Amino acid sequence: MNRYLDIEPWAVVERGFHSEFQRSSESIFSLGNGRFGQRANFEEGYTGDHMLGSYVGGVYYPDRTKVGWWKNGYPEYFAKVLNATNWTHVGIAVNGVTLDLHDAREVKDFERRLDMQGGILSRTCSVVMADGAEVRLETERFCSMANPNRAAIRMVVTPLNGVTSLTFAPQLDGGITNEDSNWDDAFWRHDGHQADAANGTAVLTNTTEKTEFVVGTAQALVGEGIDWRATEGDKVVGFIGRLDSPEQGVPVRLEKHVGLVSSLRAAPNACPDKAVEEAIEGRKRGYDAERAAHVDAWRSIWDLADIVIEGDDEAQQAIRFNIFHLNQTYRGDDH
């Protein structure tokens, strides 16, 4: 067994970046709230070996079975939960060069932490770029258990040395693929997207082929001193903003509030507008208030569900890990 994660009773922790286990880490550190969830992909993106994954509860596609004629008794299709719009992405460029832990000259003091008690995923590290510029990166995110159509991301980038510009590109990416597609089918069709730079909001809508589930995904931004302009691609929408000559040692903060509404919860044509409403409401309440409500919701869950094991931190971590994933997968309110 390759043990690379630390043992703590209430947390799963990776100290030092183990790129060879990135796919495993993305699974282990995954988040959800019963309505939607995603693998622990890096917000800024990553070009090394990994598997991008965001999912919406109850939204599936009947993928045709791929077997030989001799496999009698196989079903006609498998119902697959689809890789949906990637709402976590916040691209970063330092001095015009994309920040990517796979290509960095050095990654220092890396720590990734899944706080199971509060349902919070966080990550910190210092990154030395190819040109020698160095930044401190801190990210935190959650899928709200208190407001299950919402999620939030907080990102803090601190210029440490040689940083002349910082560029941020928070996006919604609907141009996703599914690695396990049997026939390389296009599981989604893109219905459209729009961005309002003045309001700092963007929304993207997709519909599943065959099953006709509609999903609206929206973002609402808070950025200190950043002037945003809208950017649009074929199936991508978002914003880009640049800070020139940022003061070294002074943190630059960005918040991304997300709304996600599917046609399981709203009329199909209402999904995008309701997603925008959710994102704006999250921004209005603020990251700290949204986070506190989410942590309180998890506290109520643990009051009923926790199992205490004394004298064995490894077993304690393991049972809480299972309880955590059971509760973030199924919240019990879909009746």
- For the chain, the domains span 6-329
pLDDT given at position 62:
86
Report the distance separating Cα 86 and Cα 93, nearest Å. Answer: 19
With CA atoms as reference, report the closest residue to 33 among 90, 158, 118, 96. 118
Taking only the tens place, the pLDDT of each residue in 244-277 is 999 999 999 999 999 999 999 999 999 999 999 9
Q: What is the pLDDT of residue 224?
A: 80
Task: Domain 6-329: state its class.
Answer: mainly beta
Which ranges of the chain have pLDDT less than 70? 1, 67-71, 179-184, 334-335
- How many CB atoms are located within 10 Å of the residue 271 CB? 28
328 by DSSP, 3-state: which?
A: helix
For residue 111, the Cα-to-chain-centroid distance in whole angstroms is 17
CB pairs under 8 A, 24+ apart, for 71-74? none
Residue 334's pLDDT is what? 67
pLDDT attached to residue 1: 52
Q: What are the pLDDT digits (tens) for 114-148? A: 999 999 999 999 999 999 999 999 999 999 999 99
CA-CA distances (angstroms) from residue 240 to 95, 110, 253?
A: 14, 26, 15
Beta bridge partners of 86: 173
pTM of the prediction? 0.94
- Residue with token string 């020139």: 244
